[in-house]
Homo-oligomer: A and B are copies of this chain.
Amino acid sequence: MRKKVSTLSDMAKLAGVSESTVSRALSNSKLISVKTRERIQALAKEANFSVNTTARNLRLQKSNTIAVVLLIHSENDQSTTDPFILRLLGVIADELTRIGYDMLLASHTSPNENALKNYFDSKKADGMIVFGQGNDPALFDHLLNNDMPFVVWGTKDPHQRYLTVGTDNFLGGKLATEHLINQGCKHIAYAGRKTIETELRFHGYQDALEKADLPSSPLIDIHFTYQDGYNVATKLLETQQFNFDGIVAASDTIALGILKAFNDFNAEKELSEQAKPFSIVGYDDIEVSKFMHPSLTTIRQDTYEGGKRLVELLFKQIHKKPAHSVELETKLIERGSSKLV
């Protein structure tokens, strides 16, 4: 095997020209004659040479990398487990790969301004996509003040100065609830948590009930996981506190957990002791929801569209073009789980 050529200067020697010429030839500059350009490109391919991105980035003062940051706010906030978030990450990865950018994935447990800012200061990333708005509205101010490009997945709020991509959570909560009302449900509960990102879903739920003159129950506090949905619902069932004919779940995972708890519970009971069926609507439309039996009625948050828009919006900022938060279509997907009563 020939001595490996790993730098521009190696290539220069190999081709008998200067480093500048090689550099220009490889970037297809028309300063270089077509003949030498092609010759050098062929040579590079043959020698299996590719420029050192680190050096290149240093010189160009950019990183060609987008940081995707998961802000973890509590023990139970397992973003790296959530199928919806994971799917969204997959889409983003595809998008970034497509346009030639690298994706840097990191999760932060106790996020602070500097941790985020550091991605830019240390020139690790040219832009950032953040999951988890959290409860610290000042968290993003540092970034904003130094105009570092970033987008947040989540709810748009007039008070926030940063850009977001997400569905209309108020509308989502409302659509879900209205649907259950139309199905004839009278005692509708809301299962989930009140995070900044999802609080509006709960308000949408309350609003719909109010307009229909139906009572709203206090929120059933459940983390966004299958397991917690299952645990909490099981407890309610066992203590006979599970007396709803409709449930609005803050995520599909929660909804599926609850459904499972219900099925398991009834499976072990005599007919007389069984809990009564109920209708349920989820949120997200993760892929598996369609394949449950009964399939899950839910509010779709289109992951493909969402991922694309996040990237698109981020690059608008990077290129200093005008940009506005986007609200994805917020749509009820009607399936089997809401026809159980």
Q: Within the complex, which residue of B58, B103, B121 is in contact with A105, where a contact is CB–CB below 8 Å?
A: B103
User: Which single residue of chain B is at the shortest CB-CB distance from A85?
Assistant: B90
Q: Count this chain's copies in the assembly.
A: 2
A271 in contact (CB, < 8 A): no
Minimum CB–CB distance for A148 against chain B, Å: 12
Decide yes or no whether A91 CB sits under 8 A from chain B.
Answer: yes
Residue contacts A-B, CB under 8 angstroms, 18 given: A48-B117, A50-B114, A51-B122, A52-B123, A53-B124, A54-B57, A58-B58, A70-B93, A86-B90, A93-B106, A104-B104, A226-B287, A226-B288, A230-B291, A256-B291, A264-B293, A288-B288, A293-B293
> Contact: A83 with B80, CB < 8 Å?
no
Interface magnitude class on chain A: 35 or more
State whether A54 touches B86 (Cβ < 8 A): no
For residue A314, give the distance in angstroms from its CB to the closest CB of chain B.
Answer: 16
Q: Which residues of A contact B (CB under 8 A)?
A: 4, 6, 48-55, 57-58, 63, 65, 70, 79-81, 83, 86-87, 89-91, 93-94, 97, 102-108, 114, 117-118, 121-124, 146, 226, 230, 256-257, 259-260, 263-264, 287-288, 290-293, 295
Q: Which of B58, B102, B106, B257 contacts A54 (CB 8 A)?
A: B58
Residues of B within 8 Å of A292, CB to CB, are 260, 292
Q: What chain B residues lie within 8 Å of A51 (beta carbons)?
A: 122
- Residues from chain B with Cβ under 8 Å of A263 in the complex: 293
A146 to B121 alpha-carbon distance, docked (Å): 34
Quick one: which of A70, A79, A107 has the most chain B CB within 10 A?
A107
Closest chain B CB from A206 CB (angstroms): 28
Tell me whether A121 and B48 are in contact in the complex, defined as CB-CB below 8 angstroms, given that A58-B55, A106-B93 are known contacts: yes
Q: How far is the CA of A65 from the CA of B57 in the complex (A)?
A: 15
Among B48, B53, B123, B290, which residue has its beta carbon within 8 angstroms of that of A226? Answer: B290
